[in-house]
Amino acid sequence: MEILQGKKIVLGISGGIAAYKAPELVRRLKEQGADIRVVMTEGAKAFITPLTLQAVSGNAVADSLLDTQAELAMGHIELAKWADLIIIAPATADIIAKITAGMANDLLTTLCLATSAPIAIAPAMNQQMWHALATQANITTLKDRGYHIWGPGCGEQACGDVGLGRMLDVDDLVSLSGDFFVEKYLQGQHWVVTAGPTREAIDPVRYISNHSSGKMGYAIAHAAVRAGAKVTLISGPVTLNAPFGCELIRVNSADEMHQHALSLAPTCSTFVACAAVADYRVANVAAQKIKKTNDAMQLELVKNHDIVADVAQLTDKPFIVGFAAETQNVEHYARGKLVRKNLDLIAANDVAKSGQGFNSDDNALTLFSAVDHIEIPLANKTIVAQQLVSLINQHYLAKLNSTEL
Ligand code: C5P
């Protein structure tokens, strides 16, 4: 099922240049199963036409408080009651100020007063306007009133300035909309997730690494953020964007990953070791590029620290989940690692099977604890991660309850 299946979303568009992204936002929210009704301010219509939004949303666009025809179709009070969520994107400094002041002189501001639905605001304005004391005071007031403030992002602006004030990317807004409806069952927990490969330098231009894409670890981090956890993602070099809302620590080598993991682990509730850490590193990394003068060469390798096993040695250790990517005897090897590394759970997958595991978008896992095992069937890694995170939490809570007895 799509994340927003059956959800009723009102998208309010105010008059900023980022309004040109609104049709794409509508299309993507609909793709996720949402029913969208668009409300436009007069300013928004200077940037984009209601006809475009009507075509992509499949519903008439509401743009006037005083239009008798529109009020007959779905009046503003009905619209206010219909919505499960109101998103205002882009939200200009002006609409933010009007909403804060409780004004109701157009359809969008009236809706905000007349609804009991949650309201998310995606600010979009020049960086100076964003930093203005008036805007900041308005944002603080709206946050205090329970409004959700999504962004703004940082970067180059339409006016040429660089800084905070860009509307978040459509991808992030869609992702936040999906996150919004997920039960926040990990509220108050801190998860640390390792992901991706590590790179072990041979010389300044060469390294030893592996095919890990980081997709599984990133999907787990995202699923934990969606469920309300604070998440720190320690990631080796990958080409993925960090899931919105999680803290990203980029590393290269196993040593760097080890350092960060060991310093964060005592403060977290759950540690998920999803990284494909290189087992060995080069004993003597060459300071200069090695020249190919000989027909053969030998590298001396030394064993890396086992990060997850070291975390499991801590006196204040968190709940620990490891991964086992195997090509044969999956259960036997996975259970061996569970015991040897002193883990609470291990998620095992058969990487010899095509279409799952390394570099694939899909995965199937078996989650082993000391006493049982649960299958997570083949599916997109996003779905697998959501199930895995929920199962990890159930085991975590069970352990917490049993130690409290
Ligand atoms: O021993 P193996 O590499 O198969 O173990 C896999 C599990 O151990 C994974 O959870 C992986 O992230 C973790 N690991 C680690 N540090 C290493 C090697 C593996 O944390 N040096």
Q: What is the pLDDT of residues 308-345, one digit of tens each?
A: 999 999 998 999 999 999 888 999 999 999 999 999 99
Query: Ligand 1 atom 21: the closest Cα is on which residue?
Result: 306
Catalytic residues: 159
Ligand 1 centroid vs 102 CA: distance in angstroms? 55
Structure-token pair, residue 83? 């919505």
Residues in CB range of 318: below 8 A, 6 or more apart:
192, 265, 266, 268, 269, 270, 271, 311
| Atom from ligand 1 closest to the CA of residue 278 | 21
CA dist 201 and 36 (Å) reads: 51
Domains by residue range for the chain, with CATH: 8-180 (3.40.50.1950), 190-404 (3.40.50.10300)
Which ligand 1 atom sits closest to the C-alpha of 341? 8
Q: What is the separation, in whole angstroms, between the first and last Cα of the chain? A: 39
Nearest Cα residue to atom 4 of ligand 1: 324
pTM: 0.84
Neighbours of 27 (CB within 10 A): 15
Q: Report the separation in Å between the CA atom of 43 and the middle of ligand 1, taken as the mean of its atom positions.
A: 55
Q: Determine the residue of 194, 253, 307 to mutate for testing ligand 1's pocket, defined as the one with the most ligand atoms within 8 A of the Cβ atom.
A: 307
Is the C-alpha dihedral spanning 229, 230, 235, 238 positive or negative? Answer: positive
Which amino acid belongs to residue 141?
T
Nearest Cα neighbor of 177 from 244, 100, 246 is 244
Which two three-digit tokens encode residue 275? 């990284």
Residues with CB under 6 A from ligand 1: 194, 254, 273, 275, 277, 304, 306-308, 322-324, 337
Lowest mean pLDDT across 28-37, 77-86, 152-161? 152-161
pLDDT the model gives residue 245? 87
Q: For 345-378, how does the pLDDT look when each residue is reduced to its tens digit (9 = 90+)?
A: 999 998 877 766 667 888 999 999 999 999 999 9
